[in-house]
Amino acid sequence: MDFGRISRRHLLQGGAALTLGSAFGVRSASAAETTIGFIYVGSRDDYGYNQAHAQGASALKKMPGLKVVEEEKVPETDAVEKTMESMINLDGATLLFPTSFGYYNPHMIKMANKFPKLRFEHCGGLWTDKDPKNAGSYFGYIDEAQYISGIVAGYSTKSGKLGFVAAKPIPQVLRNINAFTLGARLANPKATTQVIFTGDWSMPVKEAEATNSLIDQGVDVLTCHVDGPKTMVENAARRGAMVCGYHVNQSPLAPKAYLTGAEWNWEALYPKFVKMMASGETIPNFYR
Residue 10 has pLDDT above 70, yes or no: no
For 14: left if phi > 0, alpha if psi spans -120 to 50, otherwise beta; the answer is left
Q: How far apart are CA 215 and CA 244, in angstroms?
A: 14
| Confidence (pLDDT) at 14 | 40
CA 125 – CA 104 distance, rounded (Å): 10
User: 238 CB contacts (<8 Å, ≥6 apart)?
Assistant: none
What's residue 16's pLDDT?
38
* pLDDT bracket for residue 5 (50, 70, 90): very low
CB atoms within 10 A of CB 165: 28
The domains located in the chain, with CATH, are 3-139+266-287 (3.40.50.2300), 142-256 (3.40.50.2300)
Q: Using alpha carbons, select from 97, 89, 45, 105 the residue that is nearest to residue 247.
A: 45
Q: What is the pLDDT of residue 2?
A: 41
- Which element (helix H / strand E) includes 129? none
**How high does pLDDT run on average in the chain?**
91
pLDDT attached to residue 260: 98
Radius of gyration of the chain (CA): 21
Over residues 189-204, mean pLDDT: 97
Q: CB of 33 within 8 A of CB of 26?
A: no
Mind listing the pLDDT tens digit for each residue in 61-108? 999 999 999 999 999 999 999 999 999 999 999 999 999 999 999 999
The pLDDT of residue 27 is above 70: no
C-alpha to C-alpha distance for 207 and 199, rounded to whole angstroms: 10
pLDDT at 216 exceeding the cut of 90: yes
Q: Which amino acid is at 257?
A: A
Q: How far apart are CA 284 and CA 288, in angstroms?
A: 9
Residues 79 and 9: beta-carbon distance below 8 Å: yes
pLDDT band at 32; cut points 50, 70, 90: low
pLDDT, residue 46, reads: 96
Q: How far apart are CA 50 and CA 44, in angstroms?
A: 5
Quickly list H helices, 162-260.
Answer: 171-187, 204-216, 230-238
Q: How confident is the model at residue 30 (pLDDT cuts 50, 70, 90)?
A: very low
Strand order in the sheet with 286-287: 66-71, 34-39, 93-98, 119-123, 135-138, 286-287
> Is residue 246 predicted with pLDDT exceeding 80?
yes
Predicted confidence (pLDDT) at residue 3 exceeds the cutoff of 80 = no
Quote the CA–CA distance of 234 and 222 in Å, as a whole number. 11
Question: In this structure, are strands 221-225 and 192-197 parallel, antiparallel, or unpaired?
Answer: unpaired
For the entire predicted model, the pTM comes to 0.87
